[in-house]
Chain A
Amino acid sequence: MAETLLFNALREAIDEEMGRDDTVFVLGEDVGVYGGSYKVTKDLYNKYGELRVLDTPIAENSFTGMAVGAAMTGLRPIIEGMNMGFLLLAFNQIANNAGMLRYTSGGNYKIPMVIRGPGGVGRQLGAEHSQRLEAYFQAVPGLKIVACSTPYNAKGLLKAAIRDDNPVLFFEHVLLYNLKEDLPNHEYVVPLDKAEIVRPGKDVTILTYSRMRHHVTQAVKGLEKKGLDPEVIDLISLKPLDFDTIGASIKKTHRVIIVEECMKTGGIGAEIIASINDRYFDELDAPVVRLSSQDIPTPYNGKLETLTIVQPKQIEAAVENMVALKV
């Protein structure tokens, strides 16, 4: 076991996969000589050279399209979005070409590529650098969307994403890069399509992902003291959703609270609620509750920023309310 910071766990994943498969390469802004703005590609430029750790000009749409072309012709690109928000400029290449081209081409081409980088609401970075983009992308056919949340799953999931033959949007969170965890010394891969049961329980199912997992974990400490026993599930895969795990939990608890950092309107939670209604309506003892961040551009002011995203106290209150209304 080795204590590893999350950004280093990601770095190890990339390094191991580049060592294992020489068609894997990294491209993006400042990924090479500079080592990545969160140091996820530190020193890889020296190890693998300038073509395999390619510093690109600031041309998001074009270098994303270039990665699509490289993937179509047999390479396995990993794009680092310096900030995932910048990939708004690459929306066309991500949606039309990465996402849809396999289908549109009738299976002529596959597009094994990973688009990864920091997202989420951070330390007063202001609206543009504090985006919650996962919901923008969830409707695009052909994309897989994954959010990591711990050093362990960050490493194992990124390795799986690199090996996957489909385009994977891989969300990291700016505030989680310095999380520490003991990682196994042996190689491991974490499947992309499995949700993680963070804490088994019986009273209520809490579905969450990315940084909100940690807010939920904090809330659970308070809830435990009050004798409550929630089940916490980290979704991991935001698309497709792991309804095996979600469904099994609902059949046990019959109550669901979704805790997400993305916006409420058209969010990941909105999609989950609709799907739960489709699949498990009869299992529910209460309407699904969703705690999302506010439908506003993330404000700069610290207090307003805090108010924008869901806090542990709100999660605690929501769980208590739901359980108190027990039928």
Chain B
Amino acid sequence: MCMGDSASIIYYRWFQRGKAFISSIAVVIRVLMSKLIRYSPWLAHFNTGACNGCDIEVLASITPIYDPERYGVKLSPSVRHGDILIVTGVVTKKAAERLRRLYEQMPGVKYVVAVGACAYDGGVFKGSYSISGGAGKVIPVDAYVPGCPPRPEEILRALLILLNRERVKESERH
């Protein structure tokens, strides 16, 4: 073995250790972030092809009547500041590409909540030539809120269950 070989082995080991160190820091940051997000989740809302029914309920759920700010829940001005992406409606083929891009633009610790029957599997639009399917076909979904459209209380409750701030029976988790 020549000198060059042993030096490259040492560099390789340092490189591996550095990578392991950085990934452990990333895990710690993710855990801290998820704890912080738990008490101030910012929402980003995207309509991927809804009839507007679910959007009205999502907007209703962030009005003072339901007062989501008592849970720290706010609508974020940009998806880049969002922690939870709320997807309403069936995902059309055109919107699928945008949805994927928005999801990638969200910062590290992120959740997706699919609101309504359409965002689950296409709902009334199922079988149409222009749809990709439910939100779960395009991006990973953490919670589904059933209904056509769901009530605002249910949407807020889904957020709280997602953030482990409301106790539910295991059978009620979706």
Q: Do A and B bind each other?
A: no
